[in-house]
Amino acid sequence: MARVLDQDRALIASDVSAWLARHESKEMLRFITCGSVDDGKSTLIGRLLYDCNQLFDDQLEMLEADSKKVGTQGAKLDFALLVDGLSAEREQGITIDVAYRFFSSEKRKFIVADTPGHEQYTRNMITGASTADVAILLIDARKGVLTQTRRHSYLAKLVGIRRFVLAITKMDLVDYDQDAFDAITAEYTSFAQEIGVEHWLAIPVSGTTGANVTSRSEETLWYDGPTLLEHLETVEIDAKADALKPLRLPVQWVNRPNQGFRGFAGQIAAGSVSPGTEIRILPSGRLARIARVVTMDGDLEQAVAGQSVTVTFDDEVDCSRGDVIAAAADPPEAADQFEATIVWMGEDELLPGRGYWMKIGTQIVTAMVQEPKYEVNVNTLDHLAAKTLGLNAIGVAEISTDREIVFEPYAVAGASPNRMLGGFILIDKATNSTIAAGMLHFALRRAHNIHRQHLEVDRETHSALKGQKPAVLWFTGLSGAGKSTIANAVEKKLAARGRHTFLLDGDNVRHGLNHDLGFTDADRVENIRRVGQVARLMADAGLIVLTAFISPFRAEREMVRAMLPQGEFIEVFIDTPLEDAEKRDVKGLYAKARAGELKNFTGIDSPYEPPESPEIRIDTTDMDAEAAADHIVETLLSRR
């Protein structure tokens, strides 16, 4: 069984329910440890767990066995083995993944994230820091402030951590020299001022000997500050500051177990809520009052930031998942264009203009990231020119969403970060992988100054005047597949039947609208985005639009599909094997690509992602252009 604190043992023996209630009511502090390689992060956490009596007997037995087998402390316990769980970590003596551990002291409960120090694991460090209140920066007393110390300080500050502990470790290896401690403190002071870190405390510690970890050391009588544990037990927690802010309750679920109850469930991101509180539902702006604050244990008179509750209104007001319940007198903004800092976590580079899922709070929208304004060198903090972002890169860019979202700036001077409505993640639509995390700065001015104009002559009127149902026939396939030939034949047949059409051809568009774009992946994405917007406008005018573009990426074809009403986007896959398309090679492009004279050519050194379920598939090995055109026209006109 686990060892317990001496002061708890008697209470457990006499009244275990009271002990559980006491433990449940303790505040929770989340913190991270970060630093350079082999600065002793895992050892320090292991020492905290050991000194706080948070290890089970079998864990102690395993620690003793592992220390003898793979430990680095000779006959002594190697506390790093308690948290370096991956076999690769133990073999190399470093931290790779983020390791979370729970423990408690007499005054508080803690969740600690042991984050990796290597630069290639920046995304892991960001993940661990994203929910932390405090960052413990470990500095080897022998090495002083290093590049990684500066980088981790910047990253922790970037994600909203406001309170830092400078744990100057391995003091036993410098004989607890005060001069070494003072020199490191002085150097860090100037850097902290440079990046805006205001609240930090330096503590001389040794994870190996336990000096100043949970008890004061006789070796550092010159230090009169708190021990590490004492500081963690008393440092301010952001949750308290969040409770003083205006109400923000993102709706996660509409709870309707029966006809007589309709509640709106979610976790309170900021502020407090009570029966009678006047609220505003965003983005609709509707007003209401809270009738009840419901939990599984009964109704509450008040709930504060951090609590998960279900609220009901005094009136039937429309509210759904993704909406935000806010203080009526002080609501957040809603916008669809922003500036943001982005931490790229995907193996593939950012493609500016591509549509990604953006999740912010409980809202999910399609977002497009523009070409970065700059990339940040996290070691020097210099701003670098960049056209994209790669793995672990951090940059600032503009983002646009397909509809307005409720948000708040992530960082506000002197206040805790708005993590729920200011922080977001980007998700690849094809793989559902999380590829980036970000922090919103502000809404762009144009997002507030540009409004949609209501038009009296709408798309239904245009469609009725032309006597046809609008559509976008999206021809896709390899170069030389026959897209333009078949699209031309289809348009001629439609014109002969009195249909109003327009053909957007890939080569023609690149002579005008898209003459400034090349053939990189990013330019291909932007090429399709522009054409998609033009096709949508033409469909709004009631036309049948035909587009003949290679459009190699599924994500962009789906982006255009999402621009149109359901059923109006008809994907036509001109399915021609590469060898057949290459044999035709009317323009000589394949020959140039094979010779290395033409870079980024689809099918040769740039990928083509064939449609998975197109509305129409044309096998050009089995059907000539005339027959294909007839089939497409009949399929189009047979729609209801």
What would the pLDDT profile of 338-391 be if each residue is shown by its tens digit?
999 999 999 899 999 899 999 999 999 999 999 999 999 887 889 999 999 998
Considering Cα of 410, then 411, then 414, then 416, what sign does the dihedral take? Answer: positive
| Structural domain boundaries enclosing 305 | 246-327
CA distance 79 to 345: 31
Q: Indicate the angle between helix axes 554-563 and 521-540, nearest 10 degrees.
A: 20
Q: For residue 454, tell me if it sits in a domain.
A: no
For residue 88, the number of C-alpha atoms closer than 13 Å in the C-beta half-sphere is: 4
**Averaged pLDDT score across all residues of the chain:** 87
When mean pLDDT is compared across 117-121, 273-277, 440-444, the lowest value belongs to 117-121
Which helix (H) or strand (E) is 401 found in, with range?
A: strand 394-407
Split at pLDDT 50, 70, 90, the class of 475 is very high
DSSP letter at 205 equals -
Of 281, 306, 327, the residue at which a domain comes to its end is: 327
Q: For residue 361, tell me if it sits in a domain.
A: yes
What CATH number does the domain containing 338 carry?
Answer: 2.40.30.10
Residue whose entry in the numeric block shows the structure tokens 């690509």: 593
Q: For residue 535, tell me if it sits in a domain.
A: yes
For residue 426, the number of C-alpha atoms closer than 13 Å in the C-beta half-sphere is: 28
Is 144 found in the same domain as 263?
Answer: no
Phi, psi of 254 (to 5 degrees): -95, 115
Which among 604, 629, 603, 626 is positioned nearest to 616, based on CA atoms? 629
Average pLDDT estimate for 461-465: 92
Listed as own residue / partner, the contacts of 607-614 with beta carbons closer than 8 Å and 24 or more positions apart are 607/552, 608/478, 608/550, 608/552, 609/552, 609/553, 609/554, 610/573, 610/575, 611/476, 611/554, 611/557, 611/571, 611/573, 612/554, 614/476, 614/571, 614/572, 614/573
Split at pLDDT 50, 70, 90, the class of 280 is very high
Average pLDDT estimate for 319-323: 93
For residue 138, the cross-strand partners are 35, 167
Of 196, 211, 237, the residue at which a domain comes to its end is: 237
Which helix (H) or strand (E) is 627 found in, with range?
A: helix 625-637
Is 165 found in the same domain as 77?
Answer: yes
Count of structural domains, the chain:
4
Residue 314 CA: distances (Å) to CA of 109, 110, 331, 444, 556: 38, 39, 19, 36, 44
Which amino acid, 578? L
pTM (two decimals) = 0.77
Q: For residue 1, tell me if it sits in a domain.
A: no
Which listed residue (217, 551, 606, 613) is catalytic? 551
CA distance 287 to 205: 54
Of 426, 449, 472, the residue at which a domain comes to its end is: 449
Which helix (H) or strand (E) is 578 found in, with range?
A: helix 578-584
Measured torsion, CA atoms of residues 21, 24, 27, 33, in degrees rounded to the nearest 10: 140
Phi, psi of 443 (to 5 degrees): -80, 140
pLDDT in tens, 555-585: 889 989 989 999 999 999 999 999 888 888 7
Whether 606 is catalytic: no
Is 50 found in the same domain as 14?
Answer: yes
